[in-house]
A and B are shown apart, each in its own frame.
Chain A
Amino acid sequence: MAKDSRLILDPLGDDNPITIQVLGICSALAITAELKASIVMTISVLFVMGAGNVVISLIRNIIPSKIRIIVQLTVVAALVIIVDQVLKAYSYQLSKELGAFIGLIITNCIIMGRFEAFALANGPWRSFLDGIGNALGYGLILIIVGFFRELLGSGTLLGFPVLGDPIAKTGLYSIGYENNGFMLLAPMALIVVGIIIWVQRSRNPALIEDN
């Protein structure tokens, strides 16, 4: 039982898919200019990872190893189509904003990586936990990056102004604070993730790479 809980807890910290395993970077960076998009992306990946890991783990003994990549891609693509259709039905605006990046969950390396490394060798329940754990670890970084980029970039969280009104000059803006629009642009996502890695490795020196 203790081992099972580690499957969920490890990816949240010292075995984080983004900062340690370097998987799934593409979408982590592209859609984090807003907290809302980060949360939707996290939920989508949570669903695809959990369900995908279970499916692959159930059929792991009948997949011929030569064509396993194609089988895995087909399973993920089917799950992603479900996510895409649900988003289009219930949150069309957001699905437009995320655009191609929902489709890119298919080639999100985190999913293929966990299929290869875990689901092909373990039973469904443990694979499910592993999928949920890794998706949560991925989502954690996404939400941290999204939080800082939206807060510093547009002064809002989930669309609600939290630092005051920049036009009426209330709240923080009354003492001369300005939004840093640069945070919304692509390069700052990379730098924010770089800083997260820096903080994490300073706190746990065992993770430091030797050159």
Chain B
Amino acid sequence: MEHIELFFKSIFIDNMVFATFLGMCSYLAVSKKVSTAVGLGAAVIFVLAITVPLNWLLDQYILQEGALAWLGEEYASYDLSFLSFIMFIATIATMVQLVEIVVEKFSPSLYNSLGIFLPLIAVNCAILGGSLFMQSREIATLGLAFNYGVSSGIGWFLAILAIAAIREKIRYSNVPGPLRGLGITFIITGLMAIGFMSFGGMLTGGDEEAKEETTAQVETVQEDIKEELANNDNTLKENE
């Protein structure tokens, strides 16, 4: 259940592009054609699926406060979390390089479709953002971290696919001169983000109702208590 919830939440509600603006640069630059957008999107899913769990391990066993306890008691008080930026980015850069080499060796066809995008990805904010949000949202287990990486990748993929398709069509429309290209892309993305906001209630809807009920109950209980107190007061006065 936890997994399913995180999966849909990262794709629709906390969509990387529409809710947190991660990876906007490549999102705007590479979304002119659907085919290249698909290539970059696939590469992002792939790299996120590898780097987020890796960085989760780094965070849990090296960087967090007290994470070094497995080395021995004298290390238990170390807090290396200030190093997380440099560790995360180093992991990402090396992983991207490694993935490039491995893919080139074992699957030339995949390399041909992903290859040119891999170097772009090392500096894509979506990848580092994935790791940093994983850290700040305190994802609990390795499985959830993997899930988070894959599903945020899918969310990003969906976003770039949609904007690329719209941009291919909008070429035939009569857009006002100064808005052409970048300007209209921004405004369309804004409108798409408004659309994605409607997913916001998808998972929390039930919970909010339940909470309202409980607060209502609390209020009625409080009122009951007040009435009782008032009654008690009255009886006391009568006794006097």
Q: Which residues of A contact B (CB under 8 A)?
A: 19, 22-27, 29-30, 69-70, 73-74, 77-78, 80-81, 84-85, 99-100, 103-104, 106-109, 112, 185-191, 193-194, 197-202, 205, 207-211
B24 x A81 contact (CB < 8 A): no
Residues of A contacting B171 with CB < 8 Å?
A: 211
Binds A, one of B35-43, B105-113, B122-130, B220-228: B122-130
Q: Which residues of B contact A (CB under 8 A)?
A: 18-25, 28-29, 82-86, 88-90, 93-94, 97, 119, 122-125, 127-129, 132-133, 135-136, 171, 175-184, 186-187, 189-191, 193-194, 197
Q: How many A-B residue pairs have CB under 8 A?
A: 146
Residue from A99, A103, A112, A208 in contact with B178 in the complex, judged by beta carbons closer than 8 Å: A208
**B21: shortest Cβ distance to chain A, in Å?**
4
B133 x A100 contact (CB < 8 A): yes
Some 9 contacts from A to B, beta carbons below 8 A apart, are A19-B182, A25-B24, A26-B21, A26-B24, A27-B21, A80-B85, A81-B82, A81-B83, A100-B136
Residue from B119, B125, B187 whose CB has the most chain A CB atoms within 10 Å: B125
Bound complex: CA A103 to CA B193 (Å) = 24
Residue from B85, B175, B194 in contact with A106 in the complex, judged by beta carbons closer than 8 Å: B85
A107 x B20 contact (CB < 8 A): no
Bound complex: CA A132 to CA B128 (Å) = 25
Residues of B contacting A210 with CB < 8 Å?
A: 180
**B52: shortest Cβ distance to chain A, in Å?**
13
With A81-B83, A190-B186 as known contacts, state yes or no: A208 contacts B180, CB within 8 Å: yes
A107 x B125 contact (CB < 8 A): yes
In terms of DSSP, what is the predominant structure of the interface of chain A?
helix
Residues of A contacting B193 with CB < 8 Å?
A: 186-187, 190
Residues of A contacting B189 with CB < 8 Å?
A: 190
Residues of B contacting A29 with CB < 8 Å?
A: 21, 24
B24 x A103 contact (CB < 8 A): no
Bound complex: CA A190 to CA B184 (Å) = 10
Residue from A84, A99, A112, A185 in contact with B123 in the complex, judged by beta carbons closer than 8 Å: A112
A198 x B82 contact (CB < 8 A): no
Bound complex: CA A77 to CA B91 (Å) = 12
Bound complex: CA A109 to CA B30 (Å) = 14
Residue from B83, B129, B186 whose CB has the most chain A CB atoms within 10 Å: B186
A190, closest chain B residue (CB):
B190
B94, closest chain A residue (CB):
A70
